[in-house]
Amino acid sequence: MNSYNQSTMGASSCLFRFKKLRDRHHKTVSSNTITSTGHAIHEFAARYHRHCWKAGVQTDISVWRGIADAVLVGSGLRNEDKDDFLALAEGFVNSEIIPAPEKNVALEKTIHTRDERFFGTPDRVVLIDNETVAIDDWKSWRRIPPESECRRHIQLPYYAMILQDNMPDLKTFNLRFLFLRYGRETTWTLDRFDVGKFREQMVAAADTLDGITDFPARGGADCVWCEFTGQCPLVKEGEIEIIRDMKEAEKQAGRLCALQAKVKALTGKLKDFVETGGPVAVEGAILNFHPRLTVEFDVPTVGRAFKKAGVALEKVLAEASINAAAIKRVGKSAKMDKESVSEILATGEEKVGTTFRFKRAEDDGEDE
């Protein structure tokens, strides 16, 4: 029986990469060898935690630069990467509160299920009490995914699954991604039943993977940062084009910029034609001004409705825009019942407009 971490399970869409990761997952990198910005920021976080614990404080912004400079010594980071690391380190201390060590805090500690089948290394685990645990992961991503995408990411539920296996009394799992570049976080909570269902899915997937003997490569989103592209048969055969360095990225970005300018100009010309000449049919799709239904909300009305329900206006205004998704998020975080949230959603005013795009014949539903 093989053992799996979240990286190998996540890579199973490309069995070539999956096997490479599975075969090497027991190898470890020396904690004294910081070879990337990611390793450096986690080393910084560990040192910052130790400093705050020793000083008996939850944060100490005055010392961050000294700790960061110490991490940079012998880090192996290129000069062009050092400023990026410093920005991430500063983002960490401005966003993070260090829990007291008596809360049972574990930093980058590898954990296994009791049968050794699943393992992982959370950035930080804080045992709040015997029934509640907080699991954090610090991200240096340049993109902040929407909450729905974060919830689909298997990494934090994977850690929750392993912790539940070791501590069956746990009932509540508070999960959090902290996006260091922007000081923003995405949080959600799973209960023991959610984690149990997730475990069933992982066990079924692992059972399937245990029986696979052929490991073909398959192109996908992971190709952009796959560490095995030099060995990938699809790359060698030219079926997948990989941007490997900044020079190539600049070249392709130049092509993209030029193409976008051409698309913008051509779109404008087609808009002018379709407005008077009518829709254009191309290979089963219709280019036209298609109807688009949206719902607009009056912010004062929404704010008063939430205030009546006991929700602070600040929670509403913290949303980037007041739309149906935002209202549902605020209602859920405030633990409002569905009927109350539906009443607020009913205050929206439907607006019918148009959007210029291709639409296939089978796509006969209106945009919302």
Q: What is the DSSP string of 211-233?
A: T--------SGGGGT-TTTTT-H
234: which residues sit within 8 A by CB, 6+ positions away?
217, 218, 219, 240
Q: Where are the domains of the chain?
A: 31-98, 107-211, 244-272, 273-360
Specify the pLDDT at position 30: 37
Alpha carbons 264 and 260: distance in angstroms, whole number? 6
Task: Look at residues 99, 98, 38 and name the one whose alpha carbon lies nearest to residue 63.
Answer: 98
pLDDT tens across the length of the chain (368 residues): 788 999 889 888 899 989 888 887 544 443 333 457 888 999 999 999 999 999 999 999 999 999 999 999 978 888 888 999 999 999 999 999 999 988 899 999 999 999 999 999 999 999 999 999 999 999 998 889 999 999 999 999 999 999 999 999 999 999 999 999 999 999 999 999 999 999 999 999 999 999 999 999 998 877 877 878 888 898 888 888 777 778 888 998 999 999 999 999 999 999 999 999 999 999 889 999 998 888 999 999 999 999 999 998 888 888 888 999 999 999 998 999 999 999 999 999 998 889 999 998 666 544 44
- The count of other CB atoms within 10 Å of the CB of residue 16 is 18
Specify the pLDDT at position 192: 96
Q: Are residues 352 and 323 in contact, defined by beta-carbon separation less than 8 angstroms?
A: no
21: which residues sit within 8 A by CB, 6+ positions away?
7, 8, 11
Alpha carbons 59 and 302: distance in angstroms, whole number? 36
Specify the pLDDT at position 134: 97
Q: For the chain, give the longest Cα–Cα distance.
A: 74
Structure-token match 């298609």, residue found: 290
Alpha carbons 101 and 103: distance in angstroms, whole number? 5
* Residue 356, helix vs strand vs coil: strand
Structure-token match 């100490």, residue found: 60
Specify the pLDDT at position 238: 82
Exposure b/e, 178-209, CB count within 10 A at least 16 = b: bbbeeeebbebebebeebeebbeebeeebeeb
Using the 8-state DSSP alphabet, how is residue 367 labeled? B
Across the strands, what pairs with 282?
285
Alpha carbons 365 and 292: distance in angstroms, whole number? 10
Secondary structure, 3-state, 13-30: HCHHHHHHHHHHCCCCCC
Handedness of CA 155, 159, 162, 168 (dihedral sign): negative
Task: Look at residues 200, 201, 176, 195 and name the one whose alpha carbon lies nearest to residue 131.
Answer: 195
What pTM did the predictor assign? 0.70
